Chain A
Amino acid sequence: MNMNEEELLRNFEEKIDVDQKIEPRDWMPEAYRKHLIRQISQHAHSEVIGMQPEGNWINRAPSLRAKMVLLAKIQDEAGHGLYLYSAAETLGISREEMLDQLHTLKAKYSNIFNYPTLTWADIGAVGWLVDGAAIVNQVSLQRTSYGPYSRGMIRICKEESFHQRQGYEIMAQMAQGTPEQKEMAQDALNRFWWPSMMMFGPHDSNSPNTGNALRWRIKRESNDTLRQRFIDKTVQQANVIGLTIPDPDLKWNEERGHYDFGEINWEEFYAVINGNGPCNKERIDHHKKAHEEGRWVREAALAYAEKQKQETLV
């Protein structure tokens, strides 16, 4: 039974229209496959690079409890990276290729991880805002049309909710602490608020990858819809702990039923994407170094596997 490209595409789109998942062995348009590989690998790289700003505070966590929690959270991020790499691999790209694309700057990761974590309050802000924004995006992606990606997202969302709560707990504690601690929490919010808003990407009117992604239900909601949802959720949480969101234009709009907010600094967004954020170089250099320093471990593991194979043959 040989179907031509048109029929195959029609079958594919009919499945998508009734919300059936596309599985690795199903026919799919090349553009769908390419978009998914780009998006999922970028998502995986973000999880892995995202371990660095948090790893910066493991040795300086203020209590044993805080340290244990931070370690568990970072281990989760590694796990999430691995779920996502596996999902991308089902589309025919290898783990080695993805790592190579990261190291040669062909693949991106979330801009947010190119900002430094200067104080312990930043670990709070990262959990509360960065994981908070990621969760809004990931909850929506649980309904993505590609089966392995959707299943990965469901698993990740289950695990992520502790991340946001641990961050908010840190912020709440510091906001109720000494004046210096409160100032530190406010400063972390000031620095992480706008980069967190940028995590959702350009406005819909200016988003080059949105068209097909929405039609084929890779993404289920637009950048602006998700960003608005994040803002609407977060304002109340800031109020509860007595911190101020650094946006003078932030105002409840009765008519829209949403908060209005100020203009995002897109120049900064594109500067960071293009490699000019505060930590771009450090993040990639560190990843390359860790990868290189792990080479002997990989070689030893492969040599051991080879030796075992030969012993079974004898």
Chain B
Amino acid sequence: MEHTQGKLWEVFIQSKNNLPYKHAGSIHATDKEMAIQNARDLYTRRGEGRGIWVVPSDCIVASNPEDEESLFDPGVDKIYRHPTFYHMPDGAENI
């Protein structure tokens, strides 16, 4: 089948200044400018955004669902990485 719809781009929206960009969805476009315009029309019709990133979908490298355990489990059992792990002496303030 002929490809007439432009390539796929992932859209990230910053809802307010100083907030991180969040994935909103995807759009089709043939070039960068069209990608920004389509993303604006599709994902910010109600003031949802102050900033847009568009990234060609084939440029995104994603982790594999099968690798979930080996990638993320090592981070689960290290509770000493959280401040609540430590015993503070009674009476200590501002710590």
Tell me which residues across on chain A come within 8 A of B65, comparing CB atoms.
23, 25-27
- Chain A interface mostly: helix
Give the docked Cα–Cα distance between A304 and B30 (Å): 8
Tell me which residues across on chain B come within 8 A of A151, comparing CB atoms.
25
Tell me which residues across on chain B come within 8 A of A75, comparing CB atoms.
45
Q: Is A268 an interface residue (CB 8 A)?
A: no
Which A81-108 residues have C-beta < 8 A from chain B?
Answer: 82-83, 86, 89, 94-97, 100
Write the nearest CB–CB distance from A44 to chain B, whole angstroms: 13
Tell me which residues across on chain A come within 8 A of B5, comparing CB atoms.
94-96, 298
Contact in complex: A304, B8 (CB < 8 Å): no
Q: Is B6 an interface residue (CB 8 A)?
A: yes
Contact in complex: B25, A302 (CB < 8 Å): no
Output the nearest chain A residue to B70 by Cβ-Cβ distance.
A1
Give the docked Cα–Cα distance between A93 and B2 (Å): 14
Contact with A along B34-55 (1 / 0, CB 8 A): 1000000110011000000000
Contact in complex: A96, B3 (CB < 8 Å): yes
Output the nearest chain B residue to A26 by Cβ-Cβ distance.
B65
Residue among B2, B31, B34 making CB contact with A96, cutoff 8 Å = B2
Write the nearest CB–CB distance from B13 to chain A, whole angstroms: 12
Interface range for A: 20 to 34
Output the nearest chain B residue to A72 by Cβ-Cβ distance.
B45
Tell me which residues across on chain A come within 8 A of B27, comparing CB atoms.
82, 86
Tell me which residues across on chain B come within 8 A of A152, comparing CB atoms.
25
Tell me which residues across on chain A come within 8 A of B25, comparing CB atoms.
83, 86, 151-152, 155
Write the nearest CB–CB distance from A298 to chain B, whole angstroms: 5
Contact in complex: A95, B31 (CB < 8 Å): no
Tell me which residues across on chain B come within 8 A of A302, comparing CB atoms.
4, 6, 30
A76-B45, A83-B25, A86-B25 known; A305+B30 contact, CB < 8 A? yes
Tell me which residues across on chain B come within 8 A of A214, comparing CB atoms.
none
Give the docked Cα–Cα distance between A181 and B77 (Å): 69
Give the docked Cα–Cα distance between A27 and B64 (Å): 11
Q: Is B58 an interface residue (CB 8 A)?
A: no
Tell me which residues across on chain A come within 8 A of B2, comparing CB atoms.
96
Contact in complex: A97, B31 (CB < 8 Å): no
Residue among A25, A100, A298, A308 making CB contact with B1, cutoff 8 Å = A100
Contact in complex: B4, A97 (CB < 8 Å): no
Output the nearest chain B residue to A97 by Cβ-Cβ distance.
B1
Write the nearest CB–CB distance from B57 to chain A, whole angstroms: 9
Q: Is A116 an interface residue (CB 8 A)?
A: no
Write the nearest CB–CB distance from B27 to chain A, whole angstroms: 7
Q: Is A301 an interface residue (CB 8 A)?
A: yes
A1-B66, A82-B42 known; A301+B1 contact, CB < 8 A? no
Name A's B-contacting residues (CB within 8 A): 1, 23, 25-27, 72, 75-76, 79, 82-83, 86, 89, 94-97, 100, 151-152, 155, 159, 295, 298-299, 301-302, 304-305, 308
A-B contact pairs, 27 of them (CB 8 A): A1-B66, A25-B64, A25-B65, A26-B65, A75-B45, A76-B45, A86-B25, A86-B26, A86-B27, A89-B8, A89-B26, A94-B1, A95-B5, A95-B28, A96-B2, A96-B3, A96-B4, A96-B5, A151-B25, A298-B4, A298-B5, A298-B6, A298-B30, A301-B6, A301-B30, A305-B31, A308-B31
